[in-house]
Chains A and B, each alone.
Chain A
Amino acid sequence: MNVTGIAIVFATMLAAPGDTAPAKTIDIAMVAVQATHEGRRTKLIDAKLDGVRAALASLNYDTFRPVRAQRMSTQYNRDCRFAISDRYTLFVTPLSKDSKGGIRVRARIQERRVAGKKVMTRNALNVTSTVAEGTHLNLCGPKLESGDLVIVLSVSEKEGSSSPEPPSSSGEEQRQAPAVPRQNSGTIPRSTFR
């Protein structure tokens, strides 16, 4: 076998996995809640929050009102942006999958304030976590009107194509297309609560 033949074999070996392996799709579900302490004997959890009732029941608040729920699909190392309110935006980036199946993510709650013509932002919370299948990462505490903002996050991985659009006729165009996270419906409604 000559040098050209060896080069072709190596090129084929290197190119093959990338061409055939399906991209991983990461589903991220987010429920934003306004939580308050109102001195209730039993916790009041709005019926719209039934999907995350168990997660909310263990938190140190007694009243939970829905703010927004959204589910998005993305890929590893791509940001998902969830607009929660005029004041808060949640950014979630799946980073990797660990050996036990947990998905390592970076979640950031960005707070925004407008003072005159000046817009200021700061990170109210910046978290790196490994979210196990079937469990939640709860982010509590940023001030939201008369209560606290609570965000319940769940993350799962799915096999299959992550491309939200059908393949383009031009491969180059497809590679250059911006990665837009896809919004899904599921147990958590895709639309806002109110």
Chain B
Amino acid sequence: MRKRKWERRVEMLFDGEGAGHDSLEDLSARDPEASAYIGELESLREAARQAVASQEITDAQFPAFYEGVRAGIGARHGGRRGLWAVASLTAAALIAAGSTFLVLSGETPDATATTVEEATTDIEGATVDLDYSEDGDATIYLEVPDGDLW
């Protein structure tokens, strides 16, 4: 937007230029529109000054700042707790699934021995275990829970 002539003159005065013209105070007292514009320029200058000013934490502000840091650390721990919660839920799901589907990967016996690739059961809550004997036999133990209500 193109600025009007009086606005440019106010800006020059505001920046300390325009010697020989009216002072900024005279202009502000005489012209309410110019006064309002001078107020806007002052606000703008103050905002720009604050933006470049470095933020320092004073002694009085430090407890609040430290409390914020602690809160941040706590929040990060909360995130980990969420991760562990997901991990434990996954483990629980795997254990539950393990009762009906268990893939065994025991110690690999000799080439001349019987080996088991996979052993599963449909019995809910049951566990499957694998044992290799020295004479080359493979034994699968199914542990059926006492309360197997089928």
The interface of chain A, by Cβ under 8 A from chain B, is 54-55, 58-60, 100, 102, 104, 111, 113, 120, 122-143
Contacts and interface: CB of A to CB of B under 8 A. Distances in A.
Interface of A is mostly: strand
Using C-beta atoms within 8 Å of the partner chain, give the interface range for chain B.
Answer: 20 to 34
Interface string B108-125: 000111111111111100
Given A122-B123, A135-B113, A143-B148, 14 more contacts: A58-B133, A60-B141, A100-B112, A123-B122, A125-B120, A128-B117, A128-B118, A129-B117, A130-B117, A133-B112, A135-B112, A135-B135, A140-B139, A141-B141
B115 A130 contact: yes
Contacts of B117: 104, 128-130
B143 interface: yes
Contact of B136 (A111, A113, A134, A140): A134
Contact of A142 (B112, B139, B144): B144
Contacts of B148: 143
B65 to A, nearest CB: 63
B6 interface: no
Nearest to A126: B120
Most chain B beta carbons < 10 A, residue from A125, A130, A133, A134: A125
